[in-house]
Structure 1
């Protein structure tokens, strides 16, 4: 493992006692000796990281110390459900609530405005209120599984750095998750690894001088570690840092009610959205993305920010916003414009977008075709224009600066991923057209308006299909063949393949194709630990089951994946 660039972020060396130094005096109360810690001990001893004699039904160590032995169940916990709210807010203890006051509610940090006395809230803004039952300074016990990462084994507890120099102000937990972010998380949470990875080069220096941004970084880092290790301690730490970030943003909004929110707070809001994507949320990521959008609009776009911070945040926003338009109908508007001024001039090759920016925005255009369902002529023109864009697209047309430290292999992987995105865009185009035509209740009226009285839905779909240079079956086969030829290992460029695999899976018609999709998504989940990959798998499993069951009349049931999403009530994001 490479040494950290910050001299303060080093592992604590084993203490060395000189021969000339006297041996430390023994404490009057000797340390209890017991068998070594093991995973087969009782839950109480595991959490305390103490040896357990494994006596049944309760271990003797717990009985001797007057502790309640929790038995021998599993110390691991299941991840939160995809639509679960992170926090549940209850009224303060020992407070009687009126009949009109709800005793329990779910927490949405941006929807309910909270105003501090004498501090006006900016127009159109809502201030997040953190949960009352989170203790920001609470001590968290961290489970220490050993992870397999690359060519080395990785002990989650062996990495806590010694506070030194400019990081001596950090808590032990902050140091712990900061170093995990430096060594592993920052590499696996980007779609491009380089020497100047902004998840390190931009976020870490700023976080060291910004407690708010530090909490946001640690929240994402702890959650990512929890995804990879399923450790209860890391999950608890992630929720605690998440709550601290929300409190910090609330304070910043109140204190700067008439001023621009500082760049570090803007970055923290962006990381809250990333947190929910890593968690695999299907609701709360949109809350934070909306907040980020309103913040950016209120200050006039990215041009008002420091260039480095703006460049990082722009890539995150464009990627998430574009992906959201594909799977969330609430995010689609008829306007073919960005909700935020994202022009920052020629920038470096982005760690999220890579070569795919034009393709991502084209997928947004495809999603907006539904607004042309009542005008077949305009629909034909739009389909022809989109097909021309996809046919003529080339990664070489991307206007960006290649950051230092990238190898030819990095760029080749980015190019392959971008080609998969073009295949996915063709699949998406066919899929959306099928939904528009086959679900048009008043199709005959529309056909009459367009002077096509004798045109059936299937005939019109075939006509539109002839405007697309790549048939759907060809695009699916080509996309899956590309993916199948790749080694989906720890090269983080491949972590962007979730969307191409998902959309190809939605249109896969054979067991072989479905198997390629399933195995590839499993590899992405195992290697990169992003929660929304699980959500994509969950949706595909539900979709395939519905199609295999068929319709009640015994015919095939080609239910559309967007219909399944709507039935589940999910706002899936595949960034």
Structure 2
């Protein structure tokens, strides 16, 4: 092999020469490195990508894989001296000590492995849209709806002295877009801005948590791999910071910023569309609130924000993850007074409580009288509910149109409550059909249907008809419709209804970039395929036991998020 000449000779006509401009380097952004193009290395986004209308994926490592939805973030090894039991994750009656709570120590000492994936083969299910869904790692599925690739990423408007360029970038995105799209109510007093941003400016821990959620949301909406990598790094940094705070905490009051950071970890998993991790964070938040002495012991602004987040997530979790949560008495102290209309709950707080009561009905399946009394009481509560039942302080800047949207969304939740009540009782009847027939001498279906005043199909049709009148644009109030759409899709066998559900969920996913909507769609695809297969396997007039959507959730081992 000949050596390179010491003197530079003119290139031959057949040789390719690099165009004039900035030389290609290994330190350029990920987008330019993949394209092997020149990069001017402007941070946080290079100008070359922006000029060409491309998404700059930042300057992270090309080899770091973002979190999969079922990635095991925490180690779950039990202490040798304490065998693992089902009751080990339940809320104890006495207020636990933060420093001695073994459950909390397990959470706070977990090892972060954000790029873990299962190496075994996972079952794949065919969805009605023709794509395939990997049940264990849904993020590996094909055929997902492409989110907007034209997201307007705000250009940095300056530099804050004590923040890095990336922190400034993601904080600005959160301020201008994320905080509006990640709430169910937009107003001048949106606490995702008015509370979190000022506190994050003086709390490195909370800043990492805010940036983790912001970067992940940006990645969902722009498919930016650099933002995904940044989200994983900020997420890991938040966990590390929380472990440090909890490890050094022995006496006194746990800081509000630590409590808010744990709340944002719950939010992170909802945005990610996790199916394996969010219950860990929600249980941790519950324990910390109890250890702190309840919401009344916190600053009022922080307490109101965390209360809304916790109540919304907790009550929705009871619907799809009933066996993983214990009842809680956490509430706002009466001295706080009339609450603000919450950015997550809106007018639905009483309806969420009713749905949580429905989730507990299976515990009464062996006590027919108590079961039927509870069904009758729940039915009455749904019938008499109005959005004015509870007084609220209306946040500053909330428009009349916003309140109307909140009211209509709440009406969808009421119809979803009726549908969910039918769904739960049908499952109870199928599970205990033989036992009930022996004990009462009649079919369970003959006993309870008259207790529910609104037929299931009427509730579904009313909910979906209302949704079809909505524009389902980026008004954030519509982002709360995931549960009403999901339960309507599960309980209707009408193909037209299914099309309305999927079309509406597509719009929510496109407009708001929240990963749990994608998971709800994937579970619906699996469920419909299974139910249709069961129907096809039965001849005309043959009795069949239809699979229930909760059966699929339990079979897959998912911690489904419908919040």
TM range (shorter): 0.7 to 0.9
Is 1:396 paired with 2:388? Answer: yes
Whether the aligned pair in 1 keeps the contact of 2:151 and 2:222 (CA below 8 Å) is: no
Equivalent residue number for residue 84 of structure 1: 71
How has the CA–CA distance of structure 1 residues 367 and 226 changed in structure 2, closer, same or farther, with 3 Å as cutoff?
Answer: same
Pick aligned residue for 1:248 from 241, 248, 252: 241
How has the CA–CA distance of structure 1 residues 225 and 77 changed in structure 2, closer, same or farther, with 3 Å as cutoff?
Answer: farther
Pick aligned residue for 1:199 from 192, 198, 210: 192
* Structure 1 residue 261: Cα displacement: 1.1
* Structure 1 residue 148: Cα displacement: 5.9
Equivalent residue number for residue 317 of structure 1: 310
In structure 1, C-alpha distance between the alignment counterparts of 2:320 and 2:113, rounded to whole Å: 34
Whether the aligned pair in 2 keeps the contact of 1:547 and 1:557 (CA below 8 Å) is: no
SS of the residue 1:466 aligns to? helix
* Structure 1 residue 299: Cα displacement: 1.5
* Structure 1 residue 347: Cα displacement: 1.1
Q: Residues 42-57 of structure 1: matches in 2 within 5 Å?
A: 43=34, 45=36, 48=39
How has the CA–CA distance of structure 1 residues 184 and 549 changed in structure 2, closer, same or farther, with 3 Å as cutoff?
Answer: same
Higher mean alpha-carbon deviation, 528-537 vs 543-552, is at 543-552
* Structure 1 residue 300: Cα displacement: 1.4
In structure 1, C-alpha distance between the alignment counterparts of 2:31 and 2:317, rounded to whole Å: 44
In structure 2, C-alpha distance between the alignment counterparts of 1:473 and 1:511, rounded to whole Å: 13
SS of the residue 1:509 aligns to? coil
How has the CA–CA distance of structure 1 residues 444 and 186 changed in structure 2, closer, same or farther, with 3 Å as cutoff?
Answer: closer
Q: Which has the higher contact order (CA 8 A, sep 6+)?
A: 2
How has the CA–CA distance of structure 1 residues 257 and 88 changed in structure 2, closer, same or farther, with 3 Å as cutoff?
Answer: closer
How has the CA–CA distance of structure 1 residues 374 and 469 changed in structure 2, closer, same or farther, with 3 Å as cutoff?
Answer: same
Q: Residues 12-161 of structure 1: matches in 2 within 5 Å?
A: 32=22, 43=34, 45=36, 48=39, 80-86=67-73, 121-124=99-102, 125-126=104-105, 128-129=108-109, 154-156=151-153, 159-161=155-157
* Structure 1 residue 42: Cα displacement: 6.5
Is 1:340 paired with 2:330? Answer: yes
Q: Unpaired runs of 5+ in structure 2?
A: 1-19, 42-61, 77-87, 90-97, 115-146
Pick aligned residue for 1:567 from 546, 555, 561: 555
SS of the residue 1:481 aligns to? helix
How has the CA–CA distance of structure 1 residues 386 and 132 changed in structure 2, closer, same or farther, with 3 Å as cutoff?
Answer: closer
* Structure 1 residue 39: Cα displacement: 11
Higher mean alpha-carbon deviation, 387-396 vs 433-442, is at 433-442
Whether the aligned pair in 1 keeps the contact of 2:199 and 2:206 (CA below 8 Å) is: yes
SS of the residue 1:169 aligns to? coil
Q: Unpaired runs of 5+ in structure 1?
A: 1-29, 51-74, 90-109, 112-119, 135-146
Is 1:162 paired with 2:162? Answer: no
Q: Residues 288-327 of structure 1: matches in 2 within 5 Å?
A: 288-327=281-320
Pick aligned residue for 2:463 from 476, 479, 501: 479
In structure 2, C-alpha distance between the alignment counterparts of 1:47 and 1:398, rounded to whole Å: 60
Equivalent residue number for residue 427 of structure 2: 435
Q: Residues 131-530 of structure 1: matches in 2 within 5 Å?
A: 154-156=151-153, 159-163=155-159, 167-331=160-324, 333=326, 338-343=328-333, 344-440=336-432, 442-444=434-436, 448=439, 452=440, 454-460=441-447, 464-530=448-514
In structure 2, C-alpha distance between the alignment counterparts of 1:76 and 1:427, rounded to whole Å: 46
Taking structure 1 as the reference length, what is the TM-score of the superposition?
Answer: 0.75
* Structure 1 residue 130: Cα displacement: 6.6
* Structure 1 residue 523: Cα displacement: 0.3
How has the CA–CA distance of structure 1 residues 46 and 443 changed in structure 2, closer, same or farther, with 3 Å as cutoff?
Answer: farther
How has the CA–CA distance of structure 1 residues 187 and 76 changed in structure 2, closer, same or farther, with 3 Å as cutoff?
Answer: farther
Is 1:531 paired with 2:523? Answer: no
